[in-house]
C-alpha cells in the first residue's frame, strides 16, 4: 500500500481555503498512485480553533467541509482531522477526531484520547477524551490511528494514565499513523524524532507521522513530518517550515533490520533534552538560530497573509533589536512593504541615525525621519505646572518612548500598516520597556528571543554579506532616553541576565537552586523580582511569536496580583 503524507499550512476557520488545499493534495496523491493520503490534526478547521469550537455554526461548517472532501475520496482513502460531535449527553460536546473517508463515505472515526492542557494547549476545555479504541480497516490493512498527543505518553515521567497504543496494539495493527499539530520550539525536532522512533521499536510497527506547518498568531508549526520503519530506522522526513508532500510504500517499511546501534532515549518534552552547563552556547547554537530565523520569518509572513495585511511599520532606532526585526520583516514581506521610521530625540547619538539609515540602504526598504524634539518639548511645557520643577526621571524618559509609539501608530493608522514590535525576551522579562511606547505593536517579533540570541540572529543574517551594519552589532545597547544611557545602567550584563532568566523561566528553577549553583543571591533576588513584578506589563503586550518551550503569552499564565519572589 502506498501512503501519502500531505504537510500543509491551514488557516483557522477558513474552511474554503483549507478544503481547497486538501482536495489539491488528494488529486496529487491520486496522480502519484497512492491508495491513502494522510493529513494533519484538525486540518479541516485549522489548529488551534480555541473558542470557535463553542459556536454551533463553526461545527456545522466543519461537517459541511468534510462532505466536500468526501466527494473527492472516491478511489483513494483520505485521513483528515476535524472536530466531531459527541452523541453522548455526558461529557464535553465534541471530540478531537480523525475521519477515514473512502468511496465517498465516512468509513471510520477515531477520537483523541490524550488532551493536552498545558503550555499553549487547552484541549481539555473543549474536547471529551476517547473512551473506546479501535483500529481502522482499509484495503486489508489495520490502521492504528492516533492524534498528536496520543503518542506522547512515554519517557520517565508520563503525563497520562492511559496510553492509546497499548489499547490499539491488542487489535494487531499493521501500521501506526499519527495526525499531528506539534508546535515548534528549538528542541522539538529532537523530541519528536525520539517519540516516533521509540514507538516503532516498542511496537515493532512502522509509523507515519503527519504534522502541520505554518504560523497561527503566536504559535509556529514547523512541519518535519516523519516516517520510521518497523526497526526504528528513519525512512523519511518532510521539509521544515514549508509545505511538503511525499509518498511512502508501506511494504518497504516492514520486516526491516536496524541500521546500526539503536538509541532508545525518549524525550517527552523539550526541557528533557538537556541544555548542559553553558546556557549561552545552547541559546546561540547555530542550528537553533537557523531554525529560529526560519520560524520568525514564517511567523511574520503568515500573520500578515492570513490577516490580509500587506505592509509593516517599524521604529528604527539604530539598535540591534530594531535592526534584526527590520531584516526579518524584509525577508518575510518584501523590502517595499517594510516602512522604517527613525525618531531621534535630544539624547540620540549621531551614529544611531546613521546606523539606521545605513541598515535601510543595505536592505533597500523605505524609511523616514521624524525628530521628536518639538513634540517632547511641548509635552514638558504643558506638564511643567504639574511637575513643578521636579528632577528628570523615568517620567521624562517614558514621554519620549510614548511619543514614538504615538507617531508610529499614527502613520500605521493613516496608511494601513501593522506595527511590528521589537522588544526582546530579556527586556520583557525584566519590564525594561514602556507601556504604550516601545511596547506598542500588533505582533512581537523578538518577544521570545533573548538578547544573546538577538546578537546571534544578527550574525546569522550577516552570514553572507553585511546587512546589519557592524557598528549596530558591536556598540553597547542603549535606550537613549537620557544622557550617556546604557542598558547595563538598569540591567545586569546580558550574559548573566539571560542565563538566570532561562533557568527561571524555561527550567522553572527557584532562587535557592540558582544560588546553590553559584549565582549571587542579591542578583538572583533582584532579577526574579523584576520578572514577577512586571507581569502586568506583559499581560498588556501584543502576541509574541513562540520559538522556545516557555514563551510569554498564552503558554505562561502567571497571576498579576500576587506576592511570590516579588
In the listed set 237, 272, 307, which residue is the last one of a domain according to the structure? Answer: 272
Phi (first) and psi of residue 132, to 5 degrees: -145, 155
- Burial profile 385-396: b = 16 or more Cβ within 10 angstroms, e = fewer: eeeeeeeeeeeb
Please confirm, yes or no, whether 486 is among the known catalytic residues: no
- Is residue 299 domain-shared with residue 215, that is, in the same domain? no
Let me know if residue 345 belongs to a domain: yes
- The answer to whether 308 touches 300, Cβ cutoff 8 Å, is no
537 is in an annotated binding site: yes
Is 422 annotated among the ligand-binding residues? yes
Which residues sit opposite 4 in a β-bridge? 37, 247
Query: Where do we find the cell 515548534?
Result: 184
User: Could you tell me if 213 and 250 are in contact, meaning their C-beta atoms sit under 8 angstroms apart?
Assistant: no
Confirm or deny that 322 is annotated as ligand binding. yes
Note the pLDDT of residue 277: 63
Residue 508 is predicted with a pLDDT of: 95
pLDDT per position as a tens digit, 257-277: 988 777 778 887 777 887 766
Per the annotation, does 316 bind a ligand?
Answer: yes
Number of Cβ within a 10 Å radius of residue 132: 7
Q: Are residues 260 and 291 in the same domain?
A: no
424 is in an annotated binding site: no
Do 337 and 404 reside in the same domain of the chain? yes
Selected catalytic residue, list 112, 301, 425, 503:
112
Q: Is residue 99 part of a domain?
A: yes
Condensed to tens digits (0 to 9), the pLDDT of residues 59-71 reads: 999 999 999 999 9
CB contact set of 192 (below 8 Å; sequence gap of 6+) = 182, 209, 211, 224, 226
511 within some domain:
no
Same domain for 199 and 321: no
Number of domains in the chain: 2
SS3 content of the chain, % helix, strand, coil (to 5): 40, 20, 40
54 is catalytic: no
Say if 95 falls within a structural domain: yes
525 assigned to some structural domain? no
Closest CA to 269 of 519, 550, 554: 550
The number of residues in the chain equals: 566
Report whether 401 belongs to an annotated binding site: no
Beta bridge partners of 313: 339, 419
Cα dihedral 332→333→334→338 (10° resolution): -120
Residue 350 assigned as binding residue: no
Instruction: Provide the CATH number for the domain around residue 313.
Output: 3.40.50.620
Quick one: which of 198, 236, 192, 206 has its CA closest to 143? 206
- 360 annotated as belonging to a binding site for a ligand: no
> Does residue 442 contact residue 541 with C-beta atoms inside 8 Å?
no
Which residue among 456, 491, 526 closes a domain? 491
Residue 497: inside a domain:
no
Q: Specify whether the CB–CB gap between 422 and 432 falls below 8 A.
A: no
Neighbours of 275 (CB within 10 A): 17
CATH of the domain at 11: 3.60.110.10
Residue ranges, the chain, pLDDT below 50: none
Which cell numbers hold the place of 212?
Answer: 502541520
77/141 same-domain check: yes
Candidate list 148, 397, 506, 542, residue with the active-site label: 148
Q: What are the backbone angles phi and psi of residue 387, rounded to the nearest 5°?
A: -70, -25
Same domain as 292, residue 260:
no
548 is in an annotated binding site: no
Same domain, 203 and 263: yes
Annotated ligand binding at 182? The verdict is yes
Q: How far apart are CA 424 and CA 448, in angstroms?
A: 7
Please indicate, yes or no, whether residues 427 and 388 belong to a single structural domain of this protein.
Answer: yes
Say yes or no: 252 and 316 in one domain: no
Annotated binding residue 539: no
Q: Find the catalytic residue in 35, 41, 218, 480.
A: 41
Is residue 43 part of the annotated active site? The answer reads no
User: Is 249 found in the same domain as 366?
Assistant: no
pLDDT of residue 321: 98
- Domain range holding 103? 2-272
CB atoms inside a 10 Å sphere around CB 131: 12
Cα distance between residue 446 and residue 420, in whole Å? 10
Residue 279 lies in a domain: no
Which residue among 238, 272, 306 closes a domain?
272
Amino acid at each position: 500500500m502506498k501512503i501519502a503524507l500531505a504537510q500543509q499550512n491551514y488557516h483557522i476557520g477558513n474552511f474554503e481555503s483549507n478544503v481547497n488545499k486538501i482536495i489539491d493534495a488528494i488529486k496529487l496523491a491520486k496522480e502519484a498512485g497512492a491508495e491513502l493520503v494522510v493529513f494533519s490534526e484538525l486540518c479541516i478547521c485549522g489548529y488551534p480553533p480555541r473558542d470557535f469550537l463553542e459556536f454551533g455554526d463553526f461545527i456545522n461548517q466543519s461537517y459541511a467541509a468534510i462532505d466536500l472532501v468526501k466527494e473527492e475520496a472516491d478511489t483513494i482513502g483520505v485521513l483528515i482531522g476535524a472536530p466531531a460531535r459527541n452523541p453522548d449527553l455526558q461529557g464535553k460536546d465534541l471530540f478531537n477526531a480523525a475521519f477515514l473517508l473512502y468511496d465517498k463515505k465516512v468509513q471510520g472515526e477515531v477520537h483523541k484520547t490524550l488532551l493536552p492542557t498545558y503550555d499553549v494547549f487547552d484541549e481539555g476545555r473543549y474536547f471529551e477524551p476517547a473512551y473506546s479504541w479501535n483500529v481502522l480497516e482499509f484495503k486489508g490493512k489495520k490502521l492504528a490511528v492516533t492524534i498528536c498527543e496520543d503518542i506522547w505518553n512515554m519517557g520517565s515521567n508520563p503525563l497520562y494514565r492511559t496510553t492509546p497504543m497499548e489499547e490499539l496494539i491488542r487489535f494487531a495493527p499493521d501500521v501506526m499513523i499519527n495526525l499531528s499539530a506539534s508546535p515548534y520550539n528549538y528542541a522539538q525536532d529532537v523530541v519528536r524524532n525520539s517519540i516516533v522512533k521509540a514507538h516503532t521499536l516498542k511496537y515493532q510497527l512502522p509509523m507515519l507521522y503527519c504534522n502541520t506547518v505554518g504560523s497561527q498568531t503566536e504559535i509556529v508549526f514547523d512541519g518535519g513530518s516523519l516516517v520510521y520503519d518497523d526497526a526504528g530506522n528513519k525512512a523519511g522526513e518532510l521539509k521544515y517550515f514549508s509545505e511538503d508532500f511525499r509518498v511512502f510504500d508501506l511494504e518497504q517499511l516492514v520486516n526491516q533490520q536496524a541500521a546500526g546501534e539503536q538509541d532508545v532515549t525518549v524525550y517527552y518534552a523539550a526541557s528533557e533534552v538537556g541544555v548542559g552547563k553553558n546556557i549561552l552556547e545552547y541559546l546561540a547554537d547555530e542550528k537553533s538560530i537557523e531554525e529560529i530565523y526560519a520560524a520568525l520569518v514564517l511567523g511574520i509572513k503568515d500573520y500578515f497573509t492570513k490577516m490580509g495585511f500587506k505592509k509593516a511599520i517599524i521604529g528604527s532606532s539604530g539598535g540591534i533589536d530594531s535592526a534584526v526585526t527590520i531584516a526579518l520583516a524584509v525577508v518575510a514581506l518584501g523590502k517595499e512593504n517594510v516602512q522604517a521610521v527613525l525618531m531621534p530625540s535630544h539624547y540620540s547619538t549621531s551614529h544611531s541615525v546613521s546606523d539606521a539609515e545605513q541598515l535601510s540602504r543595505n536592505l533597500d526598504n523605505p524609511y523616514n525621519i521624524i525628530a521628536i524634539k518639538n513634540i517632547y518639548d511641548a509635552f514638558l511645557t504643558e506638564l511643567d505646572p504639574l511637575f513643578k520643577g521636579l528632577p528628570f526621571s523615568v517620567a521624562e524618559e517614558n514621554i519620549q518612548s510614548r511619543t514614538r509609539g504615538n507617531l508610529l501608530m499614527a502613520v500605521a493608522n493613516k496608511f494601513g500598516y501593522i506595527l511590528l514590535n521589537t522588544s526582546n525576551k530579556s527586556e520583557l522579562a525584566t519590564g525594561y520597556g514602556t507601556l504604550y511606547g516601545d511596547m506598542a505593536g500588533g505582533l512581537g517579533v523578538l518577544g521570545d528571543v533573548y538578547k544573546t540570541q538577538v546578537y546571534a540572529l544578527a550574525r546569522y543574517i550577516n552570514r553572507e554579506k553585511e546587512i546589519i551594519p557592524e557598528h549596530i552589532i558591536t556598540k553597547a545597547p542603549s535606550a537613549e532616553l537620557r544622557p550617556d544611557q546604557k542598558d547595563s545602567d538598569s540591567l545586569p550584563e546580558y550574559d548573566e541576565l539571560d542565563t538566570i532568566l532561562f533557568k527561571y523561566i524555561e527550567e522553572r528553577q527557584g532562587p535557592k537552586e540558582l544560588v546553590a549553583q553559584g549565582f549571587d543571591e542579591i542578583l538572583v533576588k533582584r532579577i526574579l523580582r523584576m520578572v514577577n513584578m512586571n507581569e502586568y506589563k506583559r499581560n498588556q503586550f501584543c502576541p509574541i511569536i513562540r520559538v522556545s518551550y516557555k514563551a510569554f503569552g498564552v503558554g505562561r499564565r502567571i497571576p498579576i496580583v500576587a506576592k511570590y519572589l516579588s
